[in-house]
Amino acid sequence: MKADRIHNFNAGPAALPLPVLEEIQESFLNFAGSGMSVTEISHRSKWFDDVINDAVERVKRILNLDSRFSVLFLQGGASMQFCMVPMNLLGAGDSADYVNTGTWSTKAIKEATILGKSINVVASSEDRNFSYIPRSIAFNADAVYAHITSNNTIKGTQWAQFPETGGVPIVSDMSSDIFSRPLEMEKFGLIYAGAQKNMGPSGVCLAIIRDDLLSRTPGDIPTMLRYTTYAEKNSMYNTPPCFAIYMVQLVLKWLEETIGGLDKMAALNRKKAGLLYDTIDQSGFYQGTAEKGSRSLMNVTFRLPGEDLEKTFVAEAMKNGMGGLKGHRSVGGCRASIYNPTPLAAVEALVDFMNAFERKHG
């Protein structure tokens, strides 16, 4: 590995493609012949126009978006979207449905409640410690939207198939699995994703919103909290996080031109996750925490026979060049985040280490 780089299994900020990092390194001091770093160029310059316009066009191509969808770059992360979504989409007398599948869904529900919006929690997996994705959900036909979290980083669960909502547009927090697989965009009215897990560094949030939901934006909320502010100004009403957007653009370029698009990315993600889950399932030593029908392809969560052994596992893994395997502080255990940029070789190395660790400590 170049420059003594480790295999990075961090949950976010997370691994980035090595070719992207190398391209950034080469152009950092003199971007596109400008004589300036990409961190120095004006967001009003042609150089940055080219960056953001290319990023928008790549999002549209990769997801096969039609003209009804606007691609926005915002700040505040997905957490800001927890309040922006109901603030923009729910007026007086409106209501929305929410499905609670863990920490991030809970936070989204809390923010809508703080705003005094009418929401219905139509399904929850809290009864089994958020270890599964609910099925056969009865959504309300008059809901403005149905909110879900497509992948749950902490509990290691993911929607393998998106729910049937009876035509109610899905609003989804896709922070941790955006661009990991093809999407049926007809189902979605709004997608938002913090970049730091699967498409770039922290500091920028991607939002993709359909015209019918964009038109619901009221004029009596703060300017910087309106989706229309960003849609009307190509995400440059104020100075955007230029460097983060540039990095997202390069990751999208890598996804399109090196990987070959979402079908190939999805196949690689299934292969990586399959190796890890097979190792866990064939072992009496490791125990997966997510129910099999709800397992995430992005975040593989598991436990060892004891907490002291888990600490040893994480420490020995780091000594062997594998970092970020400690589970979220709220649940403990271990977690391997294997987002798009995590190469197959990293997962193979982890599987070899897990097998060796089991032989030593099992």
Active site residues: 104, 173, 197
Torsion of CA 182, 185, 187, 189, to 10 degrees: 130
Partners of 287 in the β-ladder? 303
**Angle at alpha carbon of residue 32, lines to 27 and 34, rounded to 5°:** 105
Distance separating alpha carbons of residues 123 and 11, to the nearest angstrom: 26
Residue 174's CB is within 10 A of a number of other CB atoms, namely 25
- Taking alpha carbons only, the member of 301, 289, 318, 296 closest to residue 151 is 296
Distance between CA 131 and CA 252 in Å, rounded? 31
* Separation in Å, CA 254 to CA 90, 260, 297: 37, 8, 20
> In sequence order, what are the beta bridge partners of 300?
336
Residues 6+ apart with CB under 8 A from 165: 97, 139, 146, 187
Distances from the Cα of 284 to the Cαs of 131, 280, 302, 303, 316, in angstroms?
Answer: 19, 8, 12, 11, 20
Quick check: 137 and 157 in contact, CB under 8 A?
A: no
d(CA 199, CA 251): 6
Quote the CA–CA distance of 177 and 337 in Å, as a whole number: 11
Q: Which of 204, 161, 168 is nearest to 186 (CA)?
A: 168
Counting beta carbons within 10 angstroms of the beta carbon of residue 19, is it exposed (0 to 12), middle (13 to 18) or buried (19 or more)? middle
